[in-house]
């Protein structure tokens, strides 16, 4: 989300508050990077963010599952830097022998109801929904 989008989102949710885009930019925490400052190997697209949200809730309920996408990927592919592995065309990754035993969870956790956030389209904008 860009700072302009954040400003518009804030104004939509708070129609009685008058605040300019420059003030929103000035209030940006230093740990929130601008798009131009984000490393190329860090994706913040909707699909990857939703995967991260889902992985966080699975990991919170099933401790053997890594909470971070990078850690999860390093468990399920032989080399996270090889295009073939990541795209599922690597013969070694395709024939992974222990998918059924890779992660373990208690049965009560497996069949419990959970909720998580995801980015989704609501009317004409993209919003974080449960």
Which tens digits make up the pLDDT trace of 90-122? Answer: 888 877 666 667 787 777 776 778 888 888 877
* Residue 2, in any domain of the structure: yes
* Residue 118, in any domain of the structure: no
N-term to C-term CA, the chain: 18
* Residue 17, in any domain of the structure: yes
Give yes or no for residue 73 having a pLDDT over 80. Answer: yes
Number of folded domains in the chain?
1
* Residue 14, in any domain of the structure: yes
DSSP H helical segments within the chain, as ranges? 3-13, 21-26, 46-61, 69-76, 83-86, 91-94, 107-110
Is the pTM for the entire model greater than 0.75? no
* Residue 10, in any domain of the structure: yes
* Residue 13, in any domain of the structure: yes
CA distance 55 to 17: 36
Range of the domain at 21: 1-38
């Amino acid at each position: 989300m860009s700072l302009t989008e954040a400003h518009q989102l804030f104004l939509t949710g708070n129609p009685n508050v008058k605040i300019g885009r420059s003030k929103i930019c000035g209030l940006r925490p230093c740990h929130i990077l601008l798009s131009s400052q984000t490393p190329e190997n860090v994706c913040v697209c909707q699909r990857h963010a939703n995967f991260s949200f889902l992985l966080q809730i699975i990991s919170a309920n099933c401790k053997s599952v890594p909470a971070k996408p990078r850690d999860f990927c390093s468990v399920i592919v032989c080399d996270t830097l090889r295009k073939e592995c990541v795209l599922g065309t690597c013969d070694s990754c395709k024939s992974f022998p222990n998918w059924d035993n890779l992660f373990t969870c208690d049965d009560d956790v497996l069949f419990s109801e959970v909720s998580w956030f995801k980015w989704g389209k609501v009317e004409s904008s993209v919003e974080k929904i449960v």
